[in-house]
Structure 1
Amino acid sequence: MPELDQRVSGADEETVEQQAYLTRFLLDYTAVPLTGTVFLRGVLPAPDAVRIVTGAADAATLRELTAYEIPLSDEDGEPVTAPLLLGWTRTLTSAAHPRTDASVMDIPLITVDTSALEPAAPTGTDRALRVLRTLAWPFVETPPDPALCGFLLTGQNRMRLYLAPEQTNGLIAADVQLTGALTSLLAALPSLIGEEERWVTDPLDPHCAHVVDLTKW
């Protein structure tokens, strides 16, 4: 399958804010299934879109996953809300996967036309999470820096984080282990990703400008 290689560089502030908002909203669905045995495995930032990556919780390779590219605006040009994105994703994962010859990072990629896509209705779990999120994560005027614009579970113990530091032109991807001194790593993460001597380019990942390997930090 051909790889899509349009690389994400500097995104405008509005796009970064929307991708970060969508990512925050969807995080719970890495643990709560979207449908049946299908879970959220990643949210990849793309130009004017997000790529929602889904698959089984025990998927061993990226080829076992599916990515749906969904635009950040609806057919009226309005920003897509997180509940609507979730409803669309549920509809997509409930149906048979259409054939695709496209891929990104070895993940089969399906470009979605949302104009005729009916979102699934919210579940009881969705409504409960909405109440709990509102109380536990109230809106604050100052967003986190760096903003988390996406992530990808790349293995049973590894994750790639897509971060948008204010002082950097382009997204930085940080590869981390999910065991070890996570508290120390998360505290040091903003400064670590700013150290340019750590930056490398991943030719297979078009969702970032640079990659930082922190798996052995």
Structure 2
Amino acid sequence: MTDPEDREQQADMTRRLLYHLNAPVAEYCRLRGVLPAPGAVRVAIRAGDDEHRRDFLYEIPHDTVSPYHVPGLLRTVLTGPQLYSSSDVSEVMGMTLIRLRPEEITPDPEPEQGRALTAVHALAAPGDDEDPFLIGFLMHGDGLLRLYVRRPDRPGILGADIRLTATPATALLASLPSLVGEEQYRRPAPDDPHCDLLVDLTNW
């Protein structure tokens, strides 16, 4: 039914949407599932309150949008009026299927909580329980995230401040284990009893 590239995209999409099992995608809109389809992924959404609800299945082609932008794409579709041609609407498994054209939709920016979740997930690698790098986090200030980390070669806890930008700071997150060891970014942490030093990476 699907080729290896499709399966890889669908797995990535599933991981990115898991958060919305607990948090609404948009007001009164809950994630119900992520379904594989050839060349696309289908996202099942229940819209409305308990008395007036409908189930929708939004089909998103793989080659038009990255998995990172899918939640924003869905927020745009779910929070504003949209027009669809009859060829883009059908029914599958009792749900209204809507085939989206992502190139015609401007995704809503990721909320701060979603950006923080992306950063924390990237650093909280499974299998690191015996010698974890990330041991805590705090959202604070204007779009700032403090990551509490420890290095196996040094005692103590470091608080690393990063800025939650609109796009994922993948290069920063990948470099974080080495950046926290650089003296130029370190400063005392007199107001935070949860770490021994602060590492300021807000302008990195």
The TM tier, using the shorter chain, reads: 0.5 to 0.7
Instruction: Tell whether 2:98 aligns with 1:110.
Output: yes
Q: Which of 59, 70, 75 is equivalent to 1:90? A: 75
Amino acid at match of 2:114: D
Per-residue displacement from partner, 1:171-209 (whole Å, max 9, x unpaired)? xxxxxxxxxxxxxxxxxxxxxxxxxxxxxxxxxxxxxxx
- After superposing on structure 2, the runs of 4+ consecutive aligned residues of structure 1 that deviate more than 3 Å are 56-61, 96-101
Instruction: Tell whether 2:46 aligns with 1:55.
Output: yes
Q: Which of 3, 7, 15 is equivalent to 2:6? A: 15
1:29-68 mapped onto 2 (5 Å cutoff): 29-56=20-47, 64-68=54-58
Per-residue displacement from partner, 1:138-193 (whole Å, max 9, x unpaired)? 69xxxxxxxxxxxxxxxxxxxxxxxxxxxxxxxxxxxxxxxxxxxxxxxxxxxxxx
Match of 2:122 in 1: 134
Asked if 1 retains the 8 angstrom alpha-carbon contact of 2:40 and 2:60, the reply is yes
TM-score by length of 1: 0.51
Q: Give the share of equivalent positions with the same residue, in percent.
A: 35
- Give 1:38 deviation, angstroms: 1.1
Return the structure number with greater strand share: 2
Q: 1:38 to 1:64 in 2, by over 3 A?
A: same
Asked if 2 retains the 8 angstrom alpha-carbon contact of 1:26 and 1:82, the reply is no
Q: Which has the higher contact order (CA 8 A, sep 6+)?
A: 1
Q: Which has the larger radius of gyration?
A: 2
Per-residue displacement from partner, 1:58-117 (whole Å, max 9, x unpaired)? 7699x821111110011xxxxx32221111111111123656651110100111112211
- Give 1:137 deviation, angstroms: 4.0
Match of 1:25 in 2: 16
Could you list the runs of 5+ residues in structure 1 that have no partner in the other structure?
A: 1-8, 75-79, 140-217
Q: What number of residue pairs does the alignment pair up?
A: 124
TM-score by length of 2: 0.54
User: In structure 2, what is the Cα distance between the partners aligned to 1:60 and 1:44?
Assistant: 26
